[in-house]
Amino acid sequence: MKYTLILIAFLLFVFEINAQTNTFPSSGNTGIGTTNPSGKLEIYGANANATNLVLAANYADKFRWRLINIDRGNAIDLDVTASDVNDVQETVLKLTRSNSGRPEFQLHDNTIVANDGNVGIGTATPSEKLQVSRNILSDKLILNDPNTTTDWNLNWQSGFYQSYDTTNAPEANQWFWGINMNHDANNLSYRYNGQIAIRNSSTSPAMYFRSTDRYGSGTWARIVNSVGNQYISGKLGLGTTPMGAINWQ
């Protein structure tokens, strides 16, 4: 009987200690680690890397989900992890506030990232509103605006382009719309391309094409068509090697 009373007294003592940091009222707010909760449920981890919530199904020590608060500087981040059969955790989602210097939203392996207003797929540092580092499969592609180029020799990325009276365009004082098709090793200083440019004219259309060297330079060739007056800058041979302005055999 004496030992039973001692055990009961000890349990009451432990409960009293825990009650100083936890609040479980019948109404109002509930606090875990705090006696002054500011919401319906507030969990206070009391350290910079606190696992504040563990979710488990029918396994007590594996295949568990965790919500972890982490202080990485400039903000307290929230990580969501999932564990395997050995309870080894894998981070599947990271969240932080804006201006922390880290992506606000980051799925596992940078599957989807939101960073300073930009969205990245396969990259943690998207520099455009949407940046994809791998292949895209789409049923349709519609663009509202082409890229504006100031020098056709400087293009190195595939895309649709427009220009007016631009350096290294096929003709001066003309609008052109075109396509640039780049080599897979291209960069700012390595510009092997295939280019097609169409002059803006509803009555005398003209199409040019060229292949460029590593500096983006190349000779434009004009496609002869059946509309309007046509000209060739060079010699023309029909069935023979051209010797004069026009030769045929």
Three-class HEC string of the chain:
CHHHHHHHHHHHHHHHHHHCCCECCCCCCEEECCCCCCCCEEECCCCCEEEEEEECCCCCCCCCEEEEEEECCCCEEEEEEEECCCCCEEEEEEECCCCCCCCCEEEHHHCCEEECCEEEECCCCCCCCEEECCCCCCCCCCCCCCEECCEHHHCCCCEEEEEECCECCCCCCCEEEEEEEECCCCECCECCEEEEEEECCCCCCEEEEEECCCCCCCCCEEECCCCCCCCCCCCEEECCCCCCCEEEC
Confidence class for position 60, pLDDT limits 50, 70, 90: confident
Mean pLDDT of 177-202: 95
pLDDT > 70: percent of the chain = 86
User: What does the mean pLDDT of the chain come to?
Assistant: 86
> For residue range 158-168, what is the model confidence (pLDDT) as tens digits?
999 999 999 99
The string of pLDDT tens digits covering residues 69-115 is: 999 999 999 999 999 999 999 999 999 998 898 999 998 888 889 88
pLDDT band at 242 (very low <50, low <70, confident <90, very high): low
| Per-residue model confidence (pLDDT) at position 7 | 45
Higher pLDDT, residue 16 or 210: 210
For residue 12, is pLDDT > 50? no
Task: Choose from 15-29, 95-109, 150-164, 194-208 the range with maximum mean pLDDT.
Answer: 150-164
pLDDT reported for residue 8: 46
**Quick one: pLDDT band at residue 20, thresholds 50, 70, 90?**
low
Average pLDDT over residues 24-49: 87
